[in-house]
Structure 1
Amino acid sequence: MKTLIWQGILYQSLEYFKIKENGDRYTIESKIIGCYENKMYTADYKILITQDWTVLEFVIESEINTIKNILTGKKRQDEWVINNVIHPDFKGFEYIDISLTPFTNTLPINNLKLAENSSRKIDVIYIDVLNHHIRPAKQQYTRTALNKYLYENIETDFKAEISVDEAGLVISYPKLFEKTSEFLQNL
């Protein structure tokens, strides 16, 4: 099990993150608290993924200025069931991107296993927690060095060079997230 804390620079947040291996799957549990643009918020998420970093299901419970929201997602073959409704817009999507955490960058980084100087465009389910909005998005990852990736949001031209540790977890995501501490427990 690995536990760490990320500081959200833009979102003025702290995230307490845990990843645990359960046989052929990983369970991710995290708690985020912060304040952004007059929105005081908490967000707890749980994600179940396979050993190859493919998302099987997720739950995000948030509270923004005392208003609570729950978002659930479960993959059935190549379709996504979001809050108990099949969403054809996400058919074949492999990845999710949760706005308040750098963890979801780890999913394509570890799943794609890019060689240095190679890149790949992907489709993701983008989850904007603060605005209760979910939509398809196009992104591209390029491995620029052993532990560095260029992230690009194709629709907005946003780019950032992300540094990761040996497990693919974000160490530094300039102007957005920084890892502040880590604890590794061998079971």
Structure 2
Amino acid sequence: MKTLIWQGIAFQSLEYFSLTENDKGQVVTSKIIGCYENKIYTVDYQLTIDPDWNIQEFTIDSEINTIKNRLTGKKRQDEWEINNVISPDFKNFNFIDISLTPFTNTLPINNLKLTENDAQDIKVIYIDVLNNLVKPVTQQYTRIAPYTYHYDNLQTDFKSDILVDGNGLVVNYPQLFDKIAEI
């Protein structure tokens, strides 16, 4: 079991994160509290991940300025059921990217097993919690050093070099997140 705290820099947040391994893969539970652009928010998310670091199921409960929302997703073979409806936009997607946490970067980092200087494009379910938006996005990860990955959102001009630990968990995501405690 891993427990840690990430500080959100841009989103002025703290995340209390727990990762537990079992015979079926990993289970994540996490709680985020923060404020951003006149929005005060809490987010509780739970993820079920297979042994290859592919997301299988997620639940995201959020409250933004007292308005509550729940988003659920369950992988059904090669399709995704989002809030109990099969969504053809996400066929064959193995990853999600939740806007307010650095953890979802760990999924492709651990799954792709890139060697140094290798790159790979992936399709992800992007979840913008603060704006209640779910959409398909193409991203690219390049391993530029043993513990550093270059992240590139191929639909926008956003790029960053992410430092991770030996477990693929984010240590520093410049201007966005820093790991500040771990047990």
Q: Percent identity?
A: 66
Hey, what's the Cα distance between the residues in 1 that align with 2:179 and 2:2?
13
How many Å apart are 1:22 and its aligned residue?
1.4
Match for residue 46 of structure 2? 46
Match of 2:164 in 1: 164
> Which SS does the other structure have where 1:108 is aligned?
helix
Deviations 1:65-98 (A, max 9, x none): 0000000000000000000000000001111000
Residue 70 of structure 2 corresponds to 70
Please show how residues 103-122 of structure 1 align to structure 2 within 5 Å. 103-122=103-122
Q: Counterpart of 1:4?
A: 4
Coordinate RMSD, CA, aligned: 0.4
How far apart are the structure 1 equivalents of 2:43 and 2:9?
16
1:23 aligns with 2:20: no
Partner of residue 132, structure 1: 132
State the distance in 2 between where 1:140 and 1:128 align: 18
Superposition TM-score, scaled by structure 2 size? 0.99
Deviations 1:164-183 (A, max 9, x none): 00000000000000000000
Aligned residue number for residue 93 of structure 1: 93
Cα distance in 2 for residues equivalent to 1:20 and 1:91: 27
TM-fit CA distance, 1:157:
1.5
Structure 1 residue 24 displacement after superposition: 2.6
SS of residue matched to 2:182: strand
Match of 1:79 in 2: 79
Match in the other structure for 1:178: 178
- SS of equivalent residue, structure 1 residue 139: strand
| Runs (4+) off by over 3 Å | none
Unaligned runs of 5+ in 2: none
- Cα deviations across residues 9-28 of structure 1 (Å, max 9, x unaligned)? 00000000000011131100
Size of the aligned set, in residue pairs, is 183
Structure 1: runs of 5+ lacking an equivalent: none
Structure 1 counterpart SS, 2:109: helix
Task: Give the aligned partner of residue 102 of structure 1.
Answer: 102
> Which residue identity lines up with residue 54 of structure 1 in the other structure?
N
Q: For the residues of structure 1 that align with 2:162 and 2:103, how far apart are their CA atoms?
A: 11
Deviation of the 1:134 alpha carbon: 0.2
